[in-house]
Amino acid sequence: MHALVSSYTSIFGKADRLSDIILPILARLVFAAVLLVYYWNSAGLKTDGSIFSPSAGAFGQIFPHAAEAVLYDVSQLNIFQRLVIFAGTVAEYVLPALILVGLLTRLAALGTIGFIWVQTIVDVTGHGVKLGSLFDNAIGLVDQRVMWTFLLLVLVFKGAGPLSLDALARRATAPAAA
């Protein structure tokens, strides 16, 4: 029994030591495979030819009740609505790009987590999507968003890993060893 426990400890001790290298890289890879294109496509739907020209789809997506009240006429957007749509569009392009290349990764992951939960609030309150609940054996909106959040929390706590611009910047600014 001692040999079995010793082997187990040895094998998974190596896994523990490699986790600071492997987990951030895998988290960024999974993010790129699952959420990068999702967010970039979503951002693309928010513009009408220019990032400064919000689309009717963006109006309806972010402010569904207000958009419906004016028949999705983007000329009826107020300054607050325009700023929110612009900020959301920029966030959907920039935050995933930062995570992809591993630059300012912890901040980008935190920003994306905030974005996810604002998006969730809009989905529930504006679009009537059922939030669902955890531990109920049904995959609902909350289950999906908790998984996305967990993935990003790996990056918040572990950073981008050694294959990133964050690591390159850290190496470039580190004092030379004597």
Say which DSSP state 35 is in: I
Q: Whose CA is closest to 98, among 4, 169, 12?
A: 169
Give Cβ neighbours of residue 47 (< 8 Å, ≥ 6 apart): 53, 54, 55, 58, 89
Per run of 10 residues, the mean pLDDT along the chain (length 178 residues) is 87 86 96 96 93 94 95 96 96 98 98 97 94 90 96 97 95 80
H/E stretch holding 85 reads helix 79-101
Say which DSSP state 76 is in: G
Q: How far is CA 68 from CA 63, 77, 140, 153, in A?
A: 9, 12, 26, 36
Rounded to two decimals, the pTM is 0.89
pLDDT at res. 178:
57
Q: Token digits for 134?
A: 């955890």
Token pair 């004016």: residue: 70
